[in-house]
Amino acid sequence: MRPTLDPLLAETLVAVVASGALAGLIALFFWLTTGLSPWPLVVLGETAGLGFGIVLLALTSPRRGR
């Protein structure tokens, strides 16, 4: 028998991965277009918004079968 995660926890993990990938893409795009290091301005700003973004993504995502 396979252990299952709580649906809210599973959606939170998906939100963390999605937000982290988006943050990495934004930092990379900033670095490539400006030639400046994204640290600390962009990275710290993204980190501050990460928590709020994760909550929004996890709570508004479609529910899978429970």
- HEC string of 5-59? CCHHHHHHHHHHHHHHHHHHHHHHHHHHHHCCCCCCHHHHHHHHHHHHHHHHHHH
Give the total number of structural domains in the chain: 1
Q: Does 44 reside within a domain?
A: yes
Asked if the structure places residue 45 within a domain, the reply is yes
pLDDT on residue 34: 93
Q: 58 with 15: CB under 8 angstroms? A: yes
Q: Which domain holds residue 41?
A: 7-60
Task: Determine the pLDDT at residue 45.
Answer: 84
What integer pLDDT is reported at residue 33 of this predicted model?
Answer: 96
Residue 11 lies in a domain: yes
Reply yes or no on whether the pLDDT at 64 is more than 70. no
Q: Which pair of structure tokens corresponds to residue 66?
A: 């429970």
Residue 14 in domain: yes
Q: Is residue 23 part of a domain?
A: yes
What confidence tens digit (pLDDT) does each residue in 3-36 have? 788 877 887 788 788 888 988 898 899 999 999 9
